[in-house]
Amino acid sequence: MLFIRANYLRSYPPGMRNSVKVAIAAAVILILIGSLSYYVLGTTYTAKPEVSQYTTEYQAIKATSEPNAIAVDSQGNVFFTLMNDSSLAELNPSTGKIQQFPIPGVKGGTTSWGMTVDNTRGLVWFTEETSNSIWSFNISTHKFTRYELPSENAFPFGIAVGQNGDVWFTEFFDNNIGEITPSGNLTQIPIPLSGLLEASSITVDQTGKVWFTLPGIDFIGSYYDGEFAFKNLTGLAELPVGIAVDSQGNLWLTQHGPSFIAEYNPTTDYFESISTSIPTVASVAEIDQTTLPYFDYVDQNGDVWFNEHYGNAMAEFIPSNNTLIEYYIPTKIGHGVGNISGMLTSTLSPSGQPWYTELFAGKVGTINTQAPLDLGLSLSNYTQPISLSPNGSVSIKLNITGSAASQATVEENVGNFTTGFEYSVSPSNQLITISGNSTAPGVYFVTISAVTTSLSYSQIIELEVQ
* Residue 263 resides in a domain: yes
Q: Compute the average pLDDT of residues 34-46.
A: 72
Sheet harboring 260-265: ordered strands across?
240-245, 251-255, 260-265, 270-275
**Residue that finishes a domain, picked among 304, 336, 367:** 367
Do 198 and 240 belong together in one domain?
A: yes
CATH code, domain carrying 387 = 2.60.40.10
Q: Compute the average pLDDT of residues 56-82.
A: 96
Q: What is the pLDDT of residue 38?
A: 67
Return mean pLDDT, the chain. 89
* Residue 8 resides in a domain: no
Do 42 and 118 belong together in one domain?
A: yes
Do 356 and 419 belong together in one domain?
A: no
CATH code, domain carrying 79 = 2.130.10.10
Do 79 and 216 belong together in one domain?
A: yes
Is the preceding omega at residue 215 within 30 degrees of 0, hence cis? no
* Residue 307 resides in a domain: yes
Do 346 and 381 belong together in one domain?
A: no
pLDDT tens digits for range 80-115: 999 999 999 999 999 999 999 999 999 888 899 999
Pairing of strands 386-388, 455-465: parallel
Question: Residue 45's closest CA among 89, 82, 94?
Answer: 89
Task: Give yes or no for residue 17 having a pLDDT over 50.
Answer: no
pLDDT tens digits for range 151-202: 888 999 999 999 999 999 999 999 999 999 999 999 999 999 999 999 999 9
Q: What angle do CA 57, 60, 61 make, to 5 degrees?
A: 150
Do 391 and 344 belong together in one domain?
A: no
Do 407 and 304 belong together in one domain?
A: no
Q: What is the pLDDT of residue 284?
A: 43
Q: What is the pLDDT of residue 268?
A: 97
Q: What is the pLDDT of residue 281?
A: 41
pTM: 0.91
Q: What is the pLDDT of residue 280?
A: 55
Do 240 and 183 belong together in one domain?
A: yes
Task: Give yes or no for residue 283 having a pLDDT over 90.
Answer: no
* Residue 10 resides in a domain: no
Question: What is the dihedral sign for C-alpha 359, 364, 369, 374?
Answer: negative
Do 341 and 380 belong together in one domain?
A: no
> Higher model confidence: residue 118 or residue 257?
118
* Residue 4 resides in a domain: no
Q: What is the pLDDT of residue 107?
A: 85
pLDDT tens digits for range 325-357: 999 999 988 766 678 999 999 999 999 999 999
Do 202 and 276 belong together in one domain?
A: yes
Do 358 and 395 belong together in one domain?
A: no
**Cα 126 off chain centre by:** 16
Kindly give, in sequence order, each residue whose CB lies less than 8 Å from that of residue 56, ignoring residues fewer than 6 positions away: 49, 50, 93, 365, 366, 368
- Under the banding of pLDDT at 50, 70 and 90, the label for residue 403 is very high
Q: What is the pLDDT of residue 32?
A: 40
* Residue 302 resides in a domain: yes
* Residue 18 resides in a domain: no
Least confident window among 10-19, 257-266, 390-399: 10-19
**Residue that finishes a domain, picked among 339, 367, 395:** 367
Number of domains the chain contains: 2
User: Which structural domain range is residue 121 located in?
Assistant: 25-367
Least confident window among 24-33, 104-113, 379-388, 438-447: 24-33
* Residue 3 resides in a domain: no
**Residue that finishes a domain, picked among 346, 367, 388:** 367
Question: What is the dihedral sign for C-alpha 288, 305, 279, 322?
Answer: positive
Question: Residue 117's closest CA among 68, 161, 164?
Answer: 161
Do 71 and 145 belong together in one domain?
A: yes
